[in-house]
Amino acid sequence: DSGVTQTPKHLITATGQRVTLRCSPRSGDLSVYWYQQSLDQGLQFLIQYYNGEERAKGNILERFSAQQFPDLHSELNLSSLELGDSALYFCASSVSGTSEYYNEQFFGPGTRLTVL
Amino acid sequence: TQLLEQSPQFLSIQEGENLTVYCNSSSVFSSLQWYRQEPGEGPVLLVTVVTGGEVKKLKRLTFQFGDARKDSSLHITAAQPGDTGLYLCAGGRGSTLGRLYFGRGTQLTVWP
């Protein structure tokens, strides 16, 4: 158990809908990262938050957005869903937000999103 | 384009065999992590290497960071079925504020 929790575990929805994925980082971790993993693309970095502020952006679509709240939990919002958005979505957390120290990330169990 | 290239992509071996997985880049990294992922679960951190030339051993697993900090390898001795999984390398760069760059992974299957 990494200490990172994600809900829900599974999500099935229809095209055009909007969903929210939730992540609680390990106790004491300030940074939260969101990743998308599909069979053909591997693990793709979406976005990072550090202590409530957006820190780095990866291949995140405009239809997707995220935020980190004062209690440090984070939510990833996916809207106007398409079939191709079906994937595993992982949240990870780490203590530091920079690579000045080595950045060890601890992953949650993921949310499997299926868009029908 | 992947910043980190892993090879081989797939590896299928018999129990007891040795194997090496490679993680290569043309870029320098401040740190290199190896993760193992099982189907439907999140990646689990195995090791972090931060010094060029560093070698770390974790039971039957040996991890090496290249002298120039551009590449790494994972060697497994006497593989067991329990080693089956997706092995991912990930590099950190000081200029990018904490994000890790992941390779596509090596899917290892060890048959009894």
DSSP per residue, A58-88 = -S--TTEEEEE-TTS-EEEEE-S--GGG-EE
Rounded CA separation A47/B28 (Å): 22
Rounded CA separation A70/A62 (Å): 24
Residues 6-45 of chain A with CB under 8 A from chain B are: 31, 33, 42-43, 45
Q: Is B16 exposed, middle or buried (0-12, 13-18, 19+ CB in 10 A)?
A: exposed
Where residue A36 falls (left for φ over 0; alpha for ψ -120 to 50; beta otherwise) is beta
DSSP β-bridge partners for residue A59? none
Residues 47-106 of chain A with CB under 8 A from chain B are: 48, 50, 55-56, 58, 88, 90, 92, 94, 96-100, 102-106
Does the pLDDT at position A51 exceed 70? yes
Taking all residues of chain A, what is their mean pLDDT, rounded to a whole number? 92
Residue B77 pLDDT: 97
Candidates B35, B37, B67; CA nearest to B53 is: B67
A107: nearest CB among B42, B93, B104:
B42
**A25-42 mean pLDDT:** 90
Candidates A9, A5, A22, A109; CA nearest to B39 is: A109
Kindly list the residues from chain B whose CB atom is less than 8 angstroms away from the CB atom of residue A43: 43, 88, 102, 105
Contact (Cβ atoms closer than 8 angstroms) between residue B108 and residue B21: yes
Tell me: the pLDDT tens digits for B17-76? 999 999 999 999 988 999 999 988 999 999 999 889 999 999 999 999 999 999 999 999
Residue A16 Cα, gap to closest chain B Cα (Å): 25
Rounded CA separation B27/A101 (Å): 18
At residue B5 the predicted structure's pLDDT band, cuts being 50, 70 and 90, is very high
Residue A1 pLDDT: 84
The tokens for B34 are 């190896």
Q: Which residue has the tokens 């200490």?
A: A3
